Chains A and B, each alone.
Chain A
Amino acid sequence: MLKSFKTLPFLVLMCLFAFPVTATEKTIAITKTPFADSFREKLAEVVREAGISGTSHFFATRYSEDDKRFYLLWREGRAIWILDAASDTQYWEQLLLPSGGSRIDLDKDVVETREDVGSSTYLVDRPWVNSVIAEAVLEGVLITVHNP
């Protein structure tokens, strides 16, 4: 027991160096911001425009004060958006008018490897997609939208 106590400070120091706490940890959920309502309304519009009835599940990754980029996964719509909580949060046009590669179609825009991405400006590789999905589902927030 005494031996364990002596090694404890050493272990704590090791952990501090191995796992430094950063000032930019992603803790902010879009659902807990002043933009939550406008965001939900725009998601409802997205679902209506797509004509997908029933309940849609959106998973949004968290972001930080320093980097307000976050990812939004739409399970039923099979899409991922790359969004920015610092930009237009009144109209959320990024959702309905996504520029360039900021909306990824999971059925058409995913290739197996980074080599397969090659010179594409929009295709994404599967390991990247999987990491975004994992972050969104496991650490993000869920927003459900019902379209009758």
Chain B
Amino acid sequence: MGHFTSTTDGNAALTKVRIAAGTGKRLRLTGVKARIASDISVTSSMAAIVAAKLLSAPYDGPKGVWTVDLEAKAEGKAKISASHKNTPAASIDVEVFKPEKISLDANSTEAGMLQRLLLAEAASPSKTQYKSSDVETSMEWMIVVVENRRKDKNPGRFMARDANKDGWDKRDIIRAKGQFHGFENYPVLAEDVRKRIESYLKIGNDYEDTRHDIYAAFLKRAIKISKASLIKDPSPDGLFGWRTEGSGSPGPNYVKFKDLAGQTFYTLKKPKK
């Protein structure tokens, strides 16, 4: 008796799989030692929902491993069944879902600006050893830093400029000179920052990319945090800065608070009484 597996883990038998409509997925059919592909039949119970095609060349003939390509056509559920010389060999349930498009808020909005800042600054999924919960917390702390700088009696000491008649806003803080790489001319971003964010969006919206899930979660995390209210400052003295771990220290007025998700967060030295 055979079974279906993913292409990345040939040992774990799959009983179900989810595929976004309009995309494809490649599986392995394992444990079917057929001499030729035509001895194997792979069919879909609902071809209008998902079609299945067995490749003629085996992936690993001696081990009975074959390749099956699924094409998801419409939302719904179906069963893919494989048989060898009319004897049932394996089956898998397939659910085809409507793909979700992830996009950022307009760059003219505060949420859109914060989303772009978080995506640019937080540890990206390429740093896979970090826990996603830590990355989420680090994003929250970045919002805290921006807000603390905004509320400060003298945001000019964080190079903030362009205060309007109502005072400073987050845009003034984020566009401050030399503070956040690539954001001095926001909404125009430095090219490397813009390209990176575009890459994240591309991967997070490409269901056929094996990195899709982790990048989609990263994008959604930034969107969620950008709209969060009342994020608690973890430091009793207030967080006022961060730097990539290992990138040297900020100015002498800064005191390390904590390392988190690839960043080091800082408070300010208390003034001498």
- Chain A residues within an 8 Å CB radius of B123: 99-100
Chain B at the A interface: mostly helix, strand, loop or mixed? loop
Bound-state Cα–Cα, A104 to B123, Å:
15
Inter-chain contact B252/A99, CB cutoff 8 Å: no
B240 surroundings in chain A (CB, below 8 A): 119
When the two chains form their complex, are residues A115 and B121 in contact, meaning their CB atoms are under 8 A apart?
A: no
Q: Which of A92, A115, A118, A128 contacts B248 (CB 8 A)?
A: A128
B120 interface hit (Cβ, 8 Å): yes
Minimal Cβ-Cβ distance residue in B for A113: B251
Query: Does more than half of chain A's interface fall in helix, strand or loop, or is it mixed?
Result: loop
Given A99-B120, A119-B157; A88-B126 close (CB under 8 Å): yes
Shortest Cβ gap from B87 to chain A (Å): 38
On whether the beta carbons of A121 and B127 are closer than 8 Å, the reply is no
**A-side interface size class:** 20 to 34
Minimum CB–CB distance for A2 against chain B, Å? 50
Q: Is the CB of B263 within 8 A of A114?
A: no
Which residues from chain B contact A116 at a C-beta distance below 8 Å? 251
A8-16, A31-39, A52-60, A79-87: which one contacts chain B? A79-87
Chain B, interface size category, equals: 35 or more
B159 contacts chain A at the CB level, 8 A cutoff? yes
User: Given the complex of chains A and B, what is the CA–CA distance between A93 and B124 in angstroms?
Assistant: 9
B254 at the interface (CB under 8 A from A): yes
Q: Which residue of B lies closest to A87 (CB)?
A: B127
Q: Is B143 an interface residue (CB 8 A)?
A: no
A87-B249 contact given A97-B124, A99-B124, CB 8 Å threshold: no
* Closest residue of B by beta carbon distance from A131: B248
Q: Is the CB of B250 within 8 A of A120?
A: yes
Write out the residue numbers on chain B whose beta carbons fall within 8 Å of the beta carbon of A124. Answer: 247-248
Q: Determine if A99 and B128 form an interchain contact, defined as CB atoms under 8 angstroms apart.
A: no
Check B244 against A101 for contact (C-beta < 8 Å).
yes
Q: Does chain B have a CB within 8 A of A123?
A: yes
**Chain B residues near A94 (CB, 8 Å)?**
126-127
Q: Is B100 an interface position by the 8 A CB rule?
A: no
Interchain nearest-CB distance for B253 vs A (Å): 8
A122 touches B244 (CB 8 A): yes
Determine how close the nearest CB of chain A comes to the CB of B18; give it in whole angstroms: 23
B177 → chain A, closest Cβ, in Å?
Answer: 9
Does A97 contact B129, Cβ atoms closer than 8 Å? no
Q: Shortest Cβ distance from B201 into chain A, in angstroms?
A: 12
Q: Is A143 an interface residue (CB 8 A)?
A: no
Map CB proximity to A onto B19-59 as digits: 1 under 8 Å, 0 otherwise: 00000000000000000000000000000000000000000
* B178 contacts across to A, CB distance below 8 A: 118, 120, 123
Asked if B181 and A99 sit within 8 Å, CB to CB, the answer is no
Within 8 Å by CB of A69, from B199, B211, B246, lies B246
- In the complex, the answer to whether B126 meets A82 with C-beta atoms within 8 Å is no
7 residue pairs from A and B, CB less than 8 Å apart: A97-B124, A100-B181, A100-B262, A102-B247, A104-B247, A117-B248, A120-B178
5 tightest A-B CB contacts, nearest first: A93-B126, A101-B244, A128-B248, A118-B251, A122-B181
Residues of A within 8 A of B (CB): 69, 71, 82, 84, 86-88, 91-94, 97-104, 109, 114-125, 128
